[in-house]
Amino acid sequence: MAETWAAIGILAAGLLGTFFYLGARIDALGARIDGMGDRVEGMGSSLAARIDAMGDSLAGRIDSLSARTDARFDALIARMDAHLEDHPRRGVR
């Protein structure tokens, strides 16, 4: 009977040690995951800043293109007006 209790005690001690070992491994894995989370958050902030900068640059380019297009349309309209003034209007009363 004593041998049985000794075997149970050894088995229980082994299981308890295994639980402590697994707990330590899980804690270490959690720490690594937390570290990765910080890295991902940092990369996300960096990416957001880059996207904002690209958006500002793109907005500036669009504004510039819009101004140039407006100027070209104004010049074309002026040329068409001048051209139409050179022609007599037929059938207009």
pLDDT over threshold 80, residue 17 = yes
Query: Mind listing the pLDDT tens digit for each residue in 60-86?
Result: 999 999 999 999 999 999 999 988 887
Rg of the chain over all Cα atoms, to the nearest angstrom? 39
Q: What are residue 39's phi and psi, to 5 degrees?
A: -65, -45
pLDDT over threshold 70, residue 16 = yes
pLDDT given for residue 92 in this prediction: 53
Q: What are residue 59's phi and psi, to 5 degrees?
A: -60, -40
Query: Mind listing the pLDDT tens digit for each residue in 22-53?
Result: 989 999 999 999 989 888 888 989 999 999 99
pLDDT given for residue 90 in this prediction: 65
**End-to-end Cα separation, the chain, in angstroms:** 127
pLDDT given for residue 91 in this prediction: 56
Q: What are residue 88's phi and psi, to 5 degrees?
A: -70, 145
Spatial separation of the C-alpha atoms in residues 57 and 8, rounded to whole Å: 72
Q: Which 8-state DSSP code applies to residue 25?
A: H
